[in-house]
Amino acid sequence: MSGAPYRRHLASSEDLVTTYEATRAGFVQLALEKNRRATPFVHEARALQHSAARARAPKDLLAISDIEAGLLTAAGLSDKALTHLRPEDKKEAIRLLIENHLEPAGVKFVEELVFRFLLTRGDTLGGSMRNAGGVLAQRRLVRAFISTLRMAGTGYRWLHTKSRKWIEGSDNDSDIELSLRGLSWVRGNRSRTLLSNLTIPFVGNNVDLCLLDISHGDLARDTYESASVYVAVGELKGGIDPAGADEHWKTARTALDRIRKSFRSESRVPATFFVGAAVEKKMATEIWRSLENGSLTNAANLNDDRQVASLSTWLCSL
């Protein structure tokens, strides 16, 4: 097994285990991301406070037309909920907010309004943070892929998530991982396209990362239905909390088993890989066993730069 790709950066299961220092750094990174995402809500609350200060009494807020959205949020209604309500329902929600919460607050009704606004926005922030670890992990891994291609002198194009356009990579590519969903490059006579969060039709599930034997220009609706186009598929788990590590691995392992079974039925066996941020000892032992018996082709701990660089080099050379 000395020629196996994982042997280039792993000597044993112990190498996969996440260190305390990496766990601590991961939690700090999540805290910084949470603060970054919270900034717009804080500014909104300040704007609401400034406008609401014009009211002498809670009912005067109804006459300030440019704060209706803020009042509805303070009433506990999320942006999603608002899309299902009629105008009269929204007015009723604001009326109940004023009568049940703002009027009892007396002269401090503006403070009460802002506090309740932030409580609802806090729920919104909490929801967006549930997958923050996965988003940050994907950005980190994508940046590693880009660095590998650049160091090899390989040009690439990247897929913009919102515009769905393929853009030529350049020297000024800082922060493109924030808007990137795919990479495409040519090495020798091989065209490769790497896509994230792709639903493979015959698997029936979303797969975190798929490397395809095709150029970005040849992608079509029926491309993903052909098993022969898949070179490698992988699962990425970016959650850093050790308490959820085993559950993340079970989910990834089940997904990888399903992927392998689906591809075998199509007479195709692409390389499979796993990258995780929180890897505990028992989990590392299971991953190592999968690597040694060949059911898993490669694996890496996301927090180890050397491992990530090695896996990126392997993937970009397939």
Provide φ and ψ at 230, rounded to 5°. -90, 120
Cα separation, 267 vs 279, in Å, equals 32
Number of H helices and E strands in the chain, helices first, is 9, 8
What is the CATH number assigned to the segment(s) 131-317?
3.40.91.10
pLDDT tens string, the chain, 318 residues long: the values are 457 999 999 999 999 999 999 999 999 999 999 999 999 999 999 999 999 999 999 999 999 989 999 999 999 998 888 889 999 999 999 999 999 999 999 999 999 999 999 999 998 888 878 778 888 888 899 999 999 999 999 999 999 989 999 999 888 787 888 889 999 999 888 999 999 999 999 998 899 999 999 999 999 888 999 999 999 999 999 999 998 889 889 999 999 999 999 999 888 889 999 999 999 999 999 999 999 999 999 999 999 999 999 999 999 999
* Fold topology of 37-129: Recoverin; domain 1 (1.10.238)
H-run or E-run covering 189: none
Q: Where are the domains of the chain?
A: 37-129, 131-317
Predicted structure pTM score: 0.84
